[in-house]
């Protein structure tokens, strides 16, 4: 039986066995007959289970449990799960059972205690073997204790699963994942104290050596962290400095550095950075930007009265603060600087900035490209494609410029129409 069993004296009880194909557990099914005053009892009762380390007296092992049972014509069934605590020491244990029903002055103990004995199947079944006891116990799968899989619990508490290949130099320890195909994955340790992961029909795929070096896709690690082919990195914030899956990539042979790709999986910014000495120049034949339509620089921008700076507003140089801008609020202002980028869903394409310097700020201002811009068509007539635009007295709004008066105050050309009132037009930015 794949379970423990108990022989009951005063109450005829049975501990049911698990089916051979089911993993043995610590739950008992306790069945018995309960008589009261010489007759089979019908009704509810409480039953108490305790384990002891002796047939009488001794010390309780584990915790006690109480069950409410329903008795019909003297017969009852209940489950009891003592957990593994009573059996972990491999010492003999005895089960004590007590019963009480309504009207009884106290608990009635069923005597004597019953010794719990292991079922044969719990030691060896379907090729599973257990040898030894206590700290030297071994368990494995196979026809004998020399089979390939062995779990060895020795006095060395730090060793949970040991794969021992022998005593001679050059012998390796391997964990094979075998299948029907030719690509069989293995995890093992070489004689040079290298942990490897590979397939039997190819060279080493992953290697970690005792010096802290690692290699992916190479025969042996030459530098800390050597990689080939495609690598995916996932990371989380670390204690102290946030570190969102960053990676360092070094190309020692320019001829081999043909292509690399990188990206952020979940809505985060992508950064390409170079550390250390040497040139800071990144050179490419063609750079295609697909996420926006203008070239912008970030500025700190002051409001004009109640008009706070927002995307689409016209801005001018702020004479009160070097390197800063403010919302435009007068006509033909020769200090015109551009249009705040990002209105109507047209994003900034390229940002030029130097963080921590005067050439930095919070809002991107387009200097070149296509941008949506606020206009006031009542300030100087309708705005139509091709019209030159300049600042107006309406805060943050452009207006159609008269060519004779607009020299030095032009911010670009209109690419759409606003016949009257205030609205937005698409502007091809180009300061004049």
Q: What is the C-alpha to C-alpha distance for residues 120 and 128, in angstroms, rounded to an integer?
A: 12
**Model pLDDT, residue 292:** 87
Q: Read off the pTM.
A: 0.45
Question: Given CA atoms 184, 185, 188, 190 in this order, what sign does their dihedral have?
Answer: positive
Helices (H) and strands (E) in the chain, counts: 1, 29
**pLDDT, tens digit, for every residue of 5-23?**
333 333 444 444 333 444 4
**Model pLDDT, residue 1:** 29
Which tokens in the block code for residue 368?
């070149």
**Model pLDDT, residue 215:** 64
Among 422, 432, 429, CA closest to 339: 429
**Model pLDDT, residue 236:** 46
| Domains located in the chain, CATH noted | 14-121 (2.60.40.10), 127-164 (no CATH), 184-231 (no CATH), 294-430 (2.40.300.10)
Q: Which residues of the chain have pLDDT under 70?
A: 1-26, 88-90, 118-280
Which tokens in the block code for residue 115?
């010794």
**Model pLDDT, residue 146:** 47
**Model pLDDT, residue 5:** 31
**Model pLDDT, residue 253:** 52
Distances (CA, A) of 208 to 7, 190, 223, 245, 257: 56, 10, 11, 20, 24
**Model pLDDT, residue 81:** 81
């Amino acid at each position: 039986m794949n379970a423990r069993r108990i022989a009951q004296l005063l109450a005829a009880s049975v501990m049911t066995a698990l089916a051979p194909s089911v993993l043995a557990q610590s739950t008992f099914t306790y069945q018995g007959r309960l008589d009261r005053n010489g007759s089979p009892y019908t009704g509810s009762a409480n039953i108490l289970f305790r384990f002891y380390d002796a047939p009488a007296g001794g010390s309780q092992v584990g915790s006690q449990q109480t069950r409410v049972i329903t008795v019909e014509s003297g017969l009852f069934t209940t489950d009891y799960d003592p957990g593994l605590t009573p059996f972990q020491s491999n010492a003999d244990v005895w089960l004590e059972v007590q019963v009480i029903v309504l009207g009884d002055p106290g608990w009635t103990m069923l005597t004597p205690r019953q010794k719990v004995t292991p079922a044969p199947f719990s030691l060896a079944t379907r090729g599973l073997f257990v040898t030894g006891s206590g700290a030297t116990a071994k368990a494995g799968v196979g026809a004998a204790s020399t089979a390939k899989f062995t779990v060895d619990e020795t006095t060395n508490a730090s060793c949970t699963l040991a794969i021992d290949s022998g005593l001679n130099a050059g012998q390796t320890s391997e964990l094979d994942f075998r299948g029907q195909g030719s690509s069989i994955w293995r995890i093992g340790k070489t004689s040079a104290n290298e942990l490897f992961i590979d397939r039997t029909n190819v060279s080493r795929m992953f290697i970690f050596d005792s010096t802290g070096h690692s290699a992916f896709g190479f025969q042996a690690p030459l530098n800390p962290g050597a990689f080939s082919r495609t690598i995916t990195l996932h990371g989380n914030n670390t204690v102290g400095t946030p570190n969102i899956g960053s990676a360092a990539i070094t190309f020692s042979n320019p001829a081999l550095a043909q292509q690399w790709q990188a990206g952020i999986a979940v809505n985060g910014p992508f950064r390409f950075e170079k550390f250390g000495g040497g040139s800071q120049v990144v050179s490419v034949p063609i750079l295609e930007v697909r996420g926006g339509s203008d070239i912008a620089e970030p500025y700190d921008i002051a409001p004009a009265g109640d008009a706070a700076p927002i995307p689409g507003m016209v801005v001018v140089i702020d004479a009160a603060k070097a390197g800063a801008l403010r919302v435009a609020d007068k006509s033909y202002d020769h200090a015109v600087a551009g249009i705040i980028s990002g209105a109507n869903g047209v994003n900034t394409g390229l940002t030029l900035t130097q963080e921590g310097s005067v050439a930095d700020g919070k809002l991107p201002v387009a200097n070149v490209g296509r941008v949506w811009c606020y206009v006031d068509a009542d300030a100087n007539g309708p705005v139509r494609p091709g019209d030159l635009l300049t600042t107006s007295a309406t805060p943050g709004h452009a207006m159609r410029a008269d060519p004779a008066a607009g020299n030095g105050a032009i911010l670009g050309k209109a690419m759409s129409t606003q016949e009257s009132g205030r609205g937005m037009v698409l502007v091809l930015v180009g300061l004049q």
